[in-house]
Structure 1
Amino acid sequence: MAATPAEGPIMQPPSDPVAAVTHPDPYPYYAALLQRPFHRDGALGLWVAASAEAATAVLASPACRVRPPSEPVPPPLRGGAVGDLFGRLVRMTDGDAQARAKRAVAAALDIPADTVAAEARRRAMALVDDGLSLDALMPALPMHVVGALLGFAPDRLSEVADRMRDIVAAIAPGASPEAIGAGHEAAARMVALTEDLLETGGDGLARYLRDAAEREGGIDPAVVTANAVGFLFQARDAGAGLLGNAIVTLGAWPELRRAAAADRTLLPGLVQEVLRCDPPAQNTRRFVAEDTGIAGQALRAGDAILVVFAAANRDPTLNRDPDRFDPARPERRLLTFGHGRHACPGEEIAAAIAVAGLDALLDRFTAWPERPAGYKPSPNIRMPRFA
């Protein structure tokens, strides 16, 4: 099935690719951005990689790091539990130790798809039956599913979700001292809970990660603990944004919603097309550690690059007829989960959680919103708000 969005009111385009993340309709702007596939934005002080070719070149370049070499942890987070956690996440580090830990993380996430689907369905039905609002459901579902997959007991999942909310709020750009303080407390608690989980074993992601790290050898136990928590950290806002953007799609297109309600096998393709067309992670940043050349441009150590997934996914060299929303799209290609050594290995789990959420909502929900009330302020995550 294919769908084409209805035309909305004419509005001013976003001022830049960071502002585009929370714009009601940033995609005409992103299409124009593709005409400048790799360029310097003087106002932002960033290079912007918009095309699929430029984005993959940046993500594959050994000169481009996930953090500035002189600042592995954001200064406001240093000296506390959030900073310690942040500095040990494989997604925030580079080098040989990162590569070993990344292999362990990928191995731990290699769990049967039906196991993930069953847990996601169970948690989605429970949360929907609890009567959570859409705004509450979106971040709660990935936390409850990933928390359960890690091995946390059902009566612990609400605390896990609350603690991760505080950690994510502390890491957000411009977080207040109060939010950072609450994040340090939450991070210390999550590390303690996760250490207990790793010690007691159990049959879940935490155990799989511990075992995979032991096979790799030479991985600091504190890194293992941090990256077990990191499964939750990485899933929260991105998972909430994916489910939310899929809800927006079904709300905007009643015909597509009716088709999906009648045939749930459409949901996986629909979620994949949302990941391509309206991805939760709209961009990511890279920091140049040494002078290099990328996409015909000379870059200097200290330069920063904004890699715009939301534009690259709609590059016609990556997908034919890229602005057409088609859940049955053949040979779909997307960069939403990254590329190269920092590509996210959790794509299947993220998609399964969103499918389960939509499935539960289609069973229980009737008042689908035609459009969101707005988007949560963020420089990179597109997460709708419905209240």
Structure 2
Amino acid sequence: MSDFDPDATIISVLTDRAAIADPYPRYRALREHAPIHRMAIAKMWIVSCFDDARAVLRDPRCGNPSPEMFEQGRAGIDGSMRRARSRESLSILQLNPPDHGRIRGLVARAFTPRRVEKLRPEVEAIADQLLDAMGGSGDFVSGLAFPLPANVISALVGVPEEDREFLRPLIGDLTVGIEPSASDDEIAQADAAGATMREYLADLVAARRSDPGDDLLSVLIHANEDGDQLTENEILINTLLIYAAGFETTTHLIGNMFRAFVANPAQLDRVRADRSLIPGAVEEVLRYDPPVQLDGRYLHESMEIGGHVIAQGDSIITLIGAVNRDPADFENPASFDVGRTETQTLSFGSGIHYCLGAALARLEGQVVLGKLLDRYETWEIVGEPTWRPRITLRGVEHMEVSLS
């Protein structure tokens, strides 16, 4: 395709509402004609093939900017992070080794399989309560897909029920700041939301120090490994990250799951007939239509990827939605198949920044799918969903449904 323009295609995916609603044809064109592409307007490379994307995410030369560089850019979700000048201001997503390993080791204690599995009864109870309130119709996002993970992550962190409504709009403002297309006004709004969230969490940390509970915040406060503990700032920053990430990513997983099954009723019938397919079905949703579409790295050393030499200081964006449909790694990649055996996707990242909350997101997706199967034979979308105008965390804002 001699007239194919990779830059224009990439920009449309980042900014055009129609492309955001269905980026996959553009991803396919990029993968076929420019699987590794250097943008003309920035020192940025775009990777849309699976093996090279996985190599980037796993290579220790591909990390994050230093604190000094970080504060000059727009990386991260909170402007106060950019203004800070010490490594302890950076969450585990922005740190490089050895700092990353130290903090991740302490934070990971809050996400052990046992701790996550203990949440299953609570997730089931929340799902039942929300589905009861929906009564079989209404906006699927505001009725179920958003409040379920919001309440689950709030319970996990230890946010009291009476404070959750106050925090929910702040999370929406905060996550806009990670979008490549975010405007200066949106960045300022994200900054303000981050500052408010940190003030709130500082008060909550103080309360938990004097009265610990069985929640993530208490675990982080008292996490100790060979005498090493998280500082106050590290607790605040990483709790903010975990709380924000626990909202929108799983919201979009649940929304994308419902849309995928409505569009593929034969696959819904398969899962209904064999509930053992539920875990694999959630994995297939994560591959087929992942909530996180982009993952970025910064090169600390020059390296060669797929025959291209990428210079130190350049950035690499891996298109997760594109690489998860690479035909070199997935048979019939554009098909939604709940029995798929190729399940090694990059939906939760790879390497040292693999998502700590992956087990929790999977649990929530499995519970919701099981509850919907228990209650309803017929799943329908009424009208056209309204898409969130963002690509990094991609999903619908509103989706009217009918369940019977």
TM-score (norm 1): 0.84
Q: Tell me if 1:373 matches 2:351.
A: no
Task: Report the Cα offset of residue 370 of structure 1.
Answer: 6.3
Q: 1:152 aligns with which of 139, 152, 159?
A: 159
Residue pairs, 1:224-263, within 5 angstroms: 224-261=235-272
Q: Which amino acid aligns with 2:62?
A: C
Task: Report the Cα offset of residue 259 of structure 1.
Answer: 4.8
Task: Report the Cα offset of residue 282 of structure 1.
Answer: 1.0
Q: 2:35 aligns with which of 34, 37, 52?
A: 37
Give the match for residue 3 of structure 2.
Answer: none
Task: Report the Cα offset of residue 373 of structure 1.
Answer: 2.4
Q: Tell me if 1:133 matches 2:131.
A: no
Which stretch shows the higher mean deviation, 207-216 or 118-127?
207-216
Q: 1:122 aligns with which of 121, 125, 130?
A: 125
Q: Mind listing any 5+ residue stretches in structure 2 that lack a counterpart?
A: 1-5, 400-404
Task: Report the Cα offset of residue 70 of structure 1.
Answer: 4.1
Q: Tell me if 1:20 matches 2:20.
A: no
Cα gap change, 1:326 to 1:255, in 2 (>3 Å) = closer
Distance 2:290 2:227 in 1: 33
Task: Report the Cα offset of residue 157 of structure 1.
Answer: 3.4
**Secondary structure of the residue that 1:381 maps to in structure 2?**
coil
Residue pairs, 1:124-203, within 5 angstroms: 124-131=127-134, 133-136=139-142, 137-169=144-176, 172=179, 173-174=182-183, 175=186, 177-178=188-189, 180-203=191-214
Give the match for residue 103 of structure 1.
Answer: 105
Distance 1:308 1:285 in 2: 9
Distance 1:165 1:82 in 2: 19
**Secondary structure of the residue that 2:21 maps to in structure 1?**
coil
Task: Report the Cα offset of residue 255 of structure 1.
Answer: 3.7
Cα gap change, 1:177 to 1:339, in 2 (>3 Å) = closer
Cα gap change, 1:332 to 1:176, in 2 (>3 Å) = closer
Cα gap change, 1:81 to 1:32, in 2 (>3 Å) = closer
Asked if the contact 1:191/1:229 (under 8 Å) is kept, the reply is: no
**Secondary structure of the residue that 2:304 maps to in structure 1?**
strand
Which stretch shows the higher mean deviation, 25-34 or 170-179?
170-179
Residue pairs, 1:292-303, within 5 angstroms: 292-303=303-314
Task: Report the Cα offset of residue 98 of structure 1.
Answer: 1.7
Asked if the contact 2:88/2:233 (under 8 Å) is kept, the reply is: no
1:241-261 CA-partner distances (Å, limit 9, x unpaired): 111111111222334345545
Asked if the contact 2:267/2:338 (under 8 Å) is kept, the reply is: no
Cα gap change, 1:200 to 1:17, in 2 (>3 Å) = farther
Distance 1:355 1:256 in 2: 15
Asked if the contact 2:178/2:392 (under 8 Å) is kept, the reply is: no
Give the match for residue 4 of structure 1.
Answer: none
Asked if the contact 1:169/1:180 (under 8 Å) is kept, the reply is: no
Asked if the contact 2:106/2:230 (under 8 Å) is kept, the reply is: no
Task: Report the Cα offset of residue 326 of structure 1.
Answer: 1.4
Distance 1:261 1:267 in 2: 9
Give the match for residue 9 of structure 1.
Answer: none
Task: Report the Cα offset of residue 37 of structure 1.
Answer: 2.9
Cα gap change, 1:56 to 1:79, in 2 (>3 Å) = closer
Asked if the contact 1:318/1:333 (under 8 Å) is kept, the reply is: no
Asked if the contact 1:206/1:228 (under 8 Å) is kept, the reply is: yes
Give the match for residue 343 of structure 1.
Answer: 354
Distance 1:74 1:133 in 2: 40
Cα gap change, 1:70 to 1:274, in 2 (>3 Å) = same
Distance 1:106 1:256 in 2: 35
Distance 2:83 2:361 in 1: 25
1:323-381 CA-partner distances (Å, limit 9, x unpaired): 33211212411011111111112211011112223344455676631675242122412
**Secondary structure of the residue that 1:368 maps to in structure 2?**
strand
Which stretch shows the higher mean deviation, 279-288 or 63-72?
63-72
1:82-128 CA-partner distances (Å, limit 9, x unpaired): 96699431012223122111122223201325323222212222233
Give the match for residue 54 of structure 1.
Answer: 52
Cα gap change, 1:72 to 1:140, in 2 (>3 Å) = farther
**Secondary structure of the residue that 2:54 maps to in structure 1?**
helix
Aligned length: 375
Q: Mind listing any 5+ residue stretches in structure 1 that lack a counterpart?
A: 1-12
Distance 1:24 1:278 in 2: 11
| Same amino acid, percent of matched pairs | 27
Cα gap change, 1:70 to 1:301, in 2 (>3 Å) = farther
**Secondary structure of the residue that 1:16 maps to in structure 2?**
helix
TM-score (norm 2): 0.80
Distance 2:314 2:192 in 1: 31
Cα gap change, 1:317 to 1:195, in 2 (>3 Å) = farther
Task: Report the Cα offset of residue 267 of structure 1.
Answer: 2.9
Which stretch shows the higher mean deviation, 309-318 or 132-141?
132-141
Q: Please report the RMSD computed on the Cα atoms of aligned residues, expressed in angstroms.
A: 3.2
Distance 1:369 1:308 in 2: 28
Q: Which amino acid aligns with 1:121?
A: E
**Secondary structure of the residue that 1:92 maps to in structure 2?**
coil
